[in-house]
Amino acid sequence: MPHTDIYSEQSVMGWGNRGWVEIVEIILEVCEKGALKTHIMYKCNLNSKQIAQYLQFLQAHRLIESFKDNPASKRPIFRTTQMGERYMSAYRQLENIFKKG
């Protein structure tokens, strides 16, 4: 009897829906060179409340940092940290494993 996989990539990955791990990777990628909250929000297709939660989570875990490019600016710029770059590297390694699988 041939071996058949009961779990397809679609069923495991949620039929194309993004999980939080993927969303975090997208945010970190957008923030590599620095990005405003609204830019991140649109690139990730998240609402204001969702992006605020993700940014707070990522800052708490030192995956991103925020700064103001000039003292008069009210809007912070978010940038991926070295820890965030490590996350992105690990994510891509896992992604490659599943693509080859």
Query: Which class does domain 17-100 fall in?
Result: mainly alpha
**What pLDDT sits at residue 76?**
96
Q: pTM for the full model?
A: 0.79
pLDDT at 54 over 60: yes
Give the pLDDT band (50/70/90) at residue 3.
very low
Q: How far apart are CA 41 and CA 51, in angstroms?
A: 6
| pLDDT for residue 73 | 85
What is the domain partition of the chain in residue ranges?
A: 17-100
Which of the pair, 101 or 10, is modelled with greater confidence? 101
In contact, 72 and 41? CB cutoff 8 Å: no
Mean pLDDT value across the chain: 85
CA 59/CA 27 separation, integer angstroms: 12
pLDDT at 99: 81
